[in-house]
Chains A and B, each alone.
Chain A
Amino acid sequence: MNRFLNIIIILAVLGVAGWLKMPYEQKLSKELHARKLVPPSLSLKDRTRLKQKAFVATYGSLRPTIAAFMSVRTTRYHSDQEWDKIENSFEEIVLLDPYNFYYWDMASWHMASNAAVDKQDDDSLTEVGKQRVFKEYIQKGRDILDQAVKVNPDEWKFYDLKARLLSNRYRNPDYAAAVETYRNILELPDLPEVVQVVTELKILFCMQHLPKRHQESYDFALELHHRSSQYRVPTVENEILIGQNHPLNKVSQRMTLAEIYGSDKEAYKTLRIKWQRRKLGQKPYGVKQAIEELENKLRVPQQKRVFPHKPLFMK
């Protein structure tokens, strides 16, 4: 009886103490979660999916260890081209270690690159079927990165990874979505300057692949060029030249080649490369004329010219 009474008193004390400490603990717990110092809570669905691993992983620091060993095991699946097993494994891995960039990168890479391309060699599929499966796997890769961004909304690397896949020209690109994703990076607080600069350049690069956004792309390039010398790179310089020669663009400030590129020599060097890559991105308005003008101005030898003079009888 005495022992029973003791237990009741103990429970009562624990209950009262628990009541008093609960608000403090709740506040602390929220802060720890906000700072990502403790692992996120697993939903009932996630726990069911992880089975026994969920129980083991609940105890501190075992989650990353289990995730690491599971990810190593996927190497074998990769060799055997077992994409479904890889997909399932990574679904569990990212649940166990959701803040780890590496696993999200690996998961999307396996789906959008390895599985998508591997299915192109699947003889059991028709050509239409191959295209469909190719797109499906790329979409799976994108879905994984959507989830990654949702779990890690304050980390630029995840947005960057997603945007890189969206703008990959071999992976059914969606440049408009890539631009929006890159813009999300710029909204993040405490962004390193170098990341901001590179992201803005990537936005411009993606815009150049959207023919309908020629004016926006030109205006943006002009703004970057005026903002700082950090932005005086071929992507920006070429866009200004092409933009001011675009027949539908409203040109606010026409610049000379030397003003855009710094010097005629630099302009010629950059534009030669642009001409070689003219099939990528936007239509190269004004590039040919600029090169011809510079070749004459700089007296480039005939054999080294992009557009050598042809004999009169061949014209």
Chain B
Amino acid sequence: MAAKNTESFQKTSFISPARIGVIAGHTFTLLVRMKVFYFLIAFVILMWGAKQFVFPNETGGSNTPEQELRLLKSAGFAAMNMFSMLLALSATALLIPKDIEDRTLYTILCKPVPRLDYLLGKLLGVLMLIFVSLLAMDLVLSLFLHQKASGMIAVQTEQLASRGMPQEMINEQLAGLKAHGVTLSLHFATFAIFLKAIVIASIALMISTFSSSTLFTLISTLIIIVIGLMVADAREYASTMAEYGQKNTLFNIAITVALLFPDLQLFAIEDGVIDGRYIPFKIMGQITIIALLYFSIYVVLSWFTFKKKEF
């Protein structure tokens, strides 16, 4: 019997998409049952509130409709960021400890399931949940934004035309307003938030594989996120100091930070979208590559520590 089991283990492929899919699906269902989607109600209320907000139109010169659209996007993206970060952090940090507590881990690992498949399945389950949530939030944001922007464009067109403004000038004014409406860049920004969540979840997973406490995992990941937001500054400082040949203690700290921590500022392109800027496909592709790179590194390192872990 033991020999048969060993043979079965040996025959097991290293990475099986089907097996990973089953574990991911199970994790996703488990998380859905935790009623995480209730936050969507809060998100809709937030969006509705932001949609009602009217900026004080004081100067008359500036375009306040644009400001209202900016605020709507800004509030939406802030909520998306917050939610995806919290979920990536907490759900991933709880993955392994919860499986140990429920004894599900033993049931899975005693079967011919490679540990990498288990980790990937669990992580993808969390990421599926974040993806679905962000998709829903993106739809809600787009809906509110479209409603508000189209109403504003109609009013502005009428107002500008009544002032006798030339059509070219009207188009120029409306182009600014349209850039703040629903665009492809808006969805790209949501995707960038998802990519950031992938990186955060992968870090949390890596830490949870060698940490013995959930609290430690949460705090450590949070610290890494905070440092990750300053990596760009550290890298810039280190490169400037290197140019001047000044390699002091601060340079050593900056270079260590730049080497060991992920640069989370690279994913903060939603700020550009809030400003009404266009995100090219090339940039989106580059950011995706970086996110996948981080994901691969952290998953491999998680597997490295988890493969020999005894329970």
Q: Which residues of B contact A (CB under 8 A)?
A: 55-56, 58-59, 61-64, 66-67, 70-71, 74-75, 77-78, 80-81, 85, 166, 168-169, 172, 193, 196, 206, 210, 226, 229-230, 232-233, 235-236, 239, 258-261, 263, 265-272, 274-275, 277, 279, 283, 286-287, 290, 293, 297, 300-301, 304-305, 308
Question: Is A101 interfacial (CB 8 A cutoff)?
Answer: yes
Give bound CA distance, A58 to B305, whole Å. 32
**Closest chain B residue, CB of each to CB of A102:** B62
Question: Nearest chain A CB to B45's CB is how many angstroms away?
Answer: 16
Please tell me if the beta carbons of A62 and B78 are within 8 angstroms of each other in the complex.
yes
**Known: A38-B272, A65-B74. Is A25-B266 also a contact (CB below 8 A)?**
yes
Of the listed stretches A179-187, A191-199, A293-301, chain B binds A191-199
A-B contact pairs, 7 of them (CB 8 A): A13-B297, A28-B283, A29-B265, A38-B268, A61-B81, A62-B81, A194-B166
Question: Nearest chain B CB to A67's CB is how many angstroms away?
Answer: 9
Question: Is A72 interfacial (CB 8 A cutoff)?
Answer: yes
**Known: A15-B259, A35-B272. Is A61-B78 also a contact (CB below 8 A)?**
yes
Name A1-47 residues within 8 Å CB distance of B: 2-3, 6-7, 9-11, 13-15, 17-19, 21-22, 24-26, 28-29, 31-32, 35-39, 41
11 additional contacts, CB 8 Å, given A9-B304, A38-B272?
A: A14-B297, A32-B283, A35-B283, A37-B271, A37-B283, A60-B81, A64-B274, A65-B71, A65-B75, A100-B67, A105-B61
Question: Is A59 interfacial (CB 8 A cutoff)?
Answer: yes
Chain A residue contacts of B297, Cβ below 8 A:
13-14, 17
Please tell me if the beta carbons of B58 and A41 are within 8 angstroms of each other in the complex.
no
Please tell me if the beta carbons of B290 and A101 are within 8 angstroms of each other in the complex.
no
Give bound CA distance, A60 to B305, whole Å. 31
Please tell me if the beta carbons of A18 and B267 are within 8 angstroms of each other in the complex.
no
**Known: A22-B259, A28-B286, A102-B67. Is A37-B239 also a contact (CB below 8 A)?**
no
Question: Is A130 interfacial (CB 8 A cutoff)?
Answer: no
Which of B172, B193, B260, B290 touches A192 (beta carbons < 8 Å)? B172
Question: Is A78 interfacial (CB 8 A cutoff)?
Answer: yes
Give bound CA distance, A64 to B66, whole Å. 13
Question: Is A63 interfacial (CB 8 A cutoff)?
Answer: yes
Which of A37, A65, A193 touches B272 (beta carbons < 8 Å)? A37
Give bound CA distance, A100 to B66, whole Å. 10
Chain A residue contacts of B70, Cβ below 8 A:
64, 68, 100
**Known: A15-B260, A193-B168. Is A10-B229 also a contact (CB below 8 A)?**
no
Please tell me if the beta carbons of B58 and A106 are within 8 angstroms of each other in the complex.
yes
Please tell me if the beta carbons of B260 and A11 are within 8 angstroms of each other in the complex.
yes
**Known: A26-B239, A41-B236. Is A36-B258 also a contact (CB below 8 A)?**
no
Chain B residue contacts of A13, Cβ below 8 A:
297, 300-301
Please tell me if the beta carbons of B259 and A38 are within 8 angstroms of each other in the complex.
no
Chain A residue contacts of B258, Cβ below 8 A:
18, 22
**Closest chain A residue, CB of each to CB of B175:** A192
**Known: A59-B81, A106-B58. Is A14-B260 also a contact (CB below 8 A)?**
yes
Question: Nearest chain A CB to B233's CB is how many angstroms away?
Answer: 5
Please tell me if the beta carbons of B271 and A38 are within 8 angstroms of each other in the complex.
yes
Question: Nearest chain A CB to B52's CB is how many angstroms away?
Answer: 13
Which of B64, B265, B266 touches A102 (beta carbons < 8 Å)? B64
Closest 4 A/B residue pairs (Cβ): A37-B272, A18-B259, A60-B268, A61-B77
Question: Is A263 interfacial (CB 8 A cutoff)?
Answer: no
Please tell me if the beta carbons of A105 and B59 are within 8 angstroms of each other in the complex.
yes
Question: Is A90 interfacial (CB 8 A cutoff)?
Answer: no
Please tell me if the beta carbons of B275 and A99 are within 8 angstroms of each other in the complex.
yes
Question: Nearest chain B CB to A251's CB is how many angstroms away?
Answer: 32
Please tell me if the beta carbons of B275 and A58 are within 8 angstroms of each other in the complex.
no
Chain B residue contacts of A15, Cβ below 8 A:
259-260
